[in-house]
């Protein structure tokens, strides 16, 4: 199983790490961390990530193409023809085309979600319609060979769902148990519908 993860400056670290940690126990999995050029890539946290490969030596036909999301760094990619061409090319041959958070917006811009149901972070989800996708307000969505996750923390849910679909529920359950993934947040504020009005207003202001 060749899992190709595309990374870029300003991406959200947890968007990548949630699925990556989930998939560590994937049988016979190989991982390739790809950026435009191999080397250190800054994220939206204090943590940087090393791309093992650049576009020129990345797998031609990955089993899974995965794109994490982010904020400003993600939307900068929408005008990056080199990135969009790379994703369109690899996505045309990948068995699965996948993302978490606003990574789905990048997939959409690359022409890979037209006619598919998909999700994203709540603040960007409606943008999917601009690329011919059907936005769905779920933690994860699988439509044929397209699998997308909601914002940031949804990456673990997405990762388990995809692993279950491909490898079977038993292996996915084992991965969940290894991670002790049984979330019990101290309060319910993870969606616009759950958040206090003042909380929602404050976060919306950050995105405006």
Q: What is the pLDDT of residue 63?
A: 98
- The yes-or-no verdict on residue 30 having pLDDT over 90 is yes
pLDDT band, residue 208 (cuts 50/70/90): confident
Domain residue limits at 178: 2-183
Alpha carbon distance, N-terminus to C-terminus of the chain: 40
Asked whether residue 202 is assigned to any structural domain, the reply reads no
pTM for the model stands at: 0.97
Asked whether residue 173 is assigned to any structural domain, the reply reads yes
Average pLDDT of the residues in 60-82? 96
Average pLDDT of the residues in 35-57? 97
- The yes-or-no verdict on residue 189 having pLDDT over 90 is yes
Task: Catalytic residue, from 34, 67, 87, 101: name it.
Answer: 101
Q: The sheet that has 96-100: what strands, in order across it?
A: 30-34, 2-6, 64-67, 96-100, 146-149, 140-143
Asked whether residue 201 is assigned to any structural domain, the reply reads no
Question: Which distant-in-sequence residues (6+ apart) come within 8 Å of 113 by Cβ?
Answer: 97, 104, 107, 128, 131, 132, 133, 146, 148
Q: What is the pLDDT of residue 165?
A: 97
Asked whether residue 166 is assigned to any structural domain, the reply reads yes
Instruction: Check which CATH number belongs to the domain holding 102 and give it.
Output: 3.40.50.880
Q: What is the pLDDT of residue 157?
A: 98
Asked whether residue 203 is assigned to any structural domain, the reply reads no
If you average pLDDT over every residue of the chain, what do you get? 97
Asked whether residue 104 is assigned to any structural domain, the reply reads yes
- Residue 74 phi/psi, 5° resolution? -65, -45
Instruction: Report how many domains make up the chain.
Output: 1
Asked whether residue 194 is assigned to any structural domain, the reply reads no
Q: What is the pLDDT of residue 207?
A: 87
pLDDT one-digit tens code per residue, 93-140: 999 999 999 999 999 999 999 999 999 999 999 999 999 999 999 999
Active-site residue, 101 included: yes
Asked whether residue 109 is assigned to any structural domain, the reply reads yes
- The yes-or-no verdict on residue 197 having pLDDT over 90 is yes
């Amino acid at each position: 199983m060749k899992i190709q993860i595309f990374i870029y400056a300003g991406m959200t670290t947890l968007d990548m790490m949630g699925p990556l940690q989930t998939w560590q126990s994937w049988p016979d999995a190989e991982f390739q961390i790809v950026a435009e050029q191999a080397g250190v890539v800054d994220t939206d946290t204090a943590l940087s990530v090393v791309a093992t490969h650049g576009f020129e030596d990345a797998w031609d036909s990955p089993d899974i193409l995965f794109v994490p999301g982010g904020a400003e760094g993600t939307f900068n990619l929408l005008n990056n023809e080199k990135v969009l061409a790379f994703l369109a090319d690899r996505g045309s041959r990948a068995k699965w085309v996948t993302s978490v958070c606003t990574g789905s917006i990048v997939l959409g811009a690359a022409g890979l979600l037209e006619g598919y149901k998909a999700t994203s972070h709540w603040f960007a989800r409606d943008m999917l319609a601009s690329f011919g996708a059907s936005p769905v307000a779920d933690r994860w969505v699988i439509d044929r060979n397209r699998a997308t996750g909601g914002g940031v923390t949804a990456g673990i849910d997405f990762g388990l769902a995809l692993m279950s679909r491909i490898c079977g529920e038993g292996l996915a359950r084992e991965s969940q148990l290894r991670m002790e993934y049984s979330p019990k947040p101290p309060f319910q504020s993870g969606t616009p519908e759950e958040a206090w009005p003042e909380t929602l207003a404050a976060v919306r202001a950050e995105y405006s």
